[in-house]
Homo-oligomer: A and B are copies of this chain.
Amino acid sequence: MTYCVAMNLADGLVFVSDSRTNAGVDHIATFRKLHVFGVPGERLIVLQSAGNLATSQSVISLLRHRLGGEGAHLHNVPTLFDAASLVGATLREVLERDSGPSLGQGVDLGCSFLLGGQIRGAAPGLFNLYPQGNFIEATRDTPYFQIGESKYGKPILDRALQHATPLEQALRCALISFDSTIRSNLSVGMPLDVLVYRADSLLIPEGYRVSEGDAYFESIRAFWGAGLRQLLGELPELPDQYWL
């Protein structure tokens, strides 16, 4: 499984992905699921993937291989909408290649992508691509998307995240969402890949890899766990009728 979150906020974009892949509980590996494309000063396009690893790797490889070529590619499409369309078309191309009648029997080849970034002249944007290659775009009402094992980490996002949330608070919120997921589900695991993009900077951030034992991540895990238990103790006292 996988867990990826992306946010499109007033101040910029936040991306966090885990890196665990598994085929059964006895075949676990680490693969990066956060991929960066871009031209400094002109565009940044970040892709995150969940689902069949052979499919998502093929899509990313084809997108990279075609950069600078004749046709449309992620460094020359004029808008983020065109970028999402291109990724969707590439996904359909891979699925068509790999799912002929003699192939892929009973194997789920599907995968999902989150695509976010900015192209000079337009605002930052964020898209959620379905396994069919079609997609939806994040809005002010729904400023974040998740793919993969999304349920454990959704409540904290629903409670604490809005379009106006500052980037620092949003990134902390994403990290807590990952901690909740990792604690409850073995198929989501460290290291995490983090990338924060300030709107209109048109920089290509390096991003940061949060490894097992990362001092900051460990400190917020401990702080958060203790804080929640304390908060629970401070909740108003239960009225008598709850005890009858």
Q: Which of B155, B206, B216 is within 8 Å of A152, CB to CB?
A: B155
- A69 beta carbon closer than 8 Å to chain B: no
Are A244 and B155 closer than 8 Å at their CB atoms? no
Chain A 91-111, CB-CB to B under 8 Å as 1, else 0, gives 000000000000000000000
Q: Given that A151-B152, A184-B155, A236-B219 are contacting pairs, would A241 and B169 also be in contact in the complex, using a CB cutoff of 8 Å?
A: no
Task: Across the interface, name the chain B residue whose C-beta is closest to A241.
Answer: B208
- A31 beta carbon closer than 8 Å to chain B: no
Are B172 and A235 closer than 8 Å at their CB atoms? yes
Q: In the assembly, what is the distance between CA of A85 and CA of B122, in Å?
A: 64
Q: Given that A235-B172, A242-B196 are contacting pairs, would A156 and B208 also be in contact in the complex, using a CB cutoff of 8 Å?
A: no
Which residues of chain B have C-beta atoms less than 8 A from A233's C-beta?
169
Q: Which of A176, A194, A235 has the most CB of B within 10 A?
A: A235
Interface residues of A in 192-209 (CB under 8 A from B): 194, 196, 205-208
Which residues of chain B have C-beta atoms less than 8 A from A196's C-beta?
242-243
Task: Across the interface, name the chain B residue whose C-beta is closest to A176.
Answer: B232
CB distance from A141 to the nearest CB of B (A): 15
CB distance from A86 to the nearest CB of B (A): 28
Interface residues of A in 204-231 (CB under 8 A from B): 205-208, 216, 219-220, 223-225, 227-229, 231
Are A231 and B229 closer than 8 Å at their CB atoms? no
Are A229 and B159 closer than 8 Å at their CB atoms? yes
- A36 beta carbon closer than 8 Å to chain B: no
- A70 beta carbon closer than 8 Å to chain B: no
A–B complex contacts, Cβ < 8 Å, 11 sampled: A152-B152, A152-B155, A154-B184, A155-B181, A159-B183, A160-B228, A172-B235, A223-B234, A223-B235, A223-B236, A227-B231
Given contacts A205-B244, A207-B244, 10 further A-B contacts (CB under 8 A): A154-B184, A155-B155, A155-B181, A159-B183, A160-B229, A172-B238, A205-B243, A208-B242, A216-B242, A227-B231
